[in-house]
Amino acid sequence: MSMQEDEDFLTSEEARKRLNVSSRTLERYVRDGLLKKYRRRVGREVYYKQSEVEDLLRIHPVEDIEDR
């Protein structure tokens, strides 16, 4: 999917850090339909809508580091 300019996007690394997951888990979220990938018209970098990442966090909150 192409990117809309009025949306805020996160890189794969930023999305992984925000969700506190591995790249493999992030790919599973895409495969399972929990997140969508977006790309610029040129380039190979994958992006994720910040709003979709935040929605996923509300559904599956990141555990506090102290809870581990």
pLDDT band at 21 (very low <50, low <70, confident <90, very high): very high
- Break the chain into its structural domains and give their ranges: 9-63
pLDDT tens profile 28-51: 999 999 999 998 877 789 999 999
Would you state the pLDDT for residue 38? 94
Nearest to 57 by CA among 21, 27, 32, 3: 21
Residue type for position 10: L
Who wins on pLDDT, 38 or 3? Answer: 38
pLDDT > 60? residue 65: no
| Residue reference for tokens 């949306």 | 7
| Fold category of 9-63 in CATH | Multidrug-efflux Transporter Regulator; Chain: A; Domain 2 (1.10.1660)
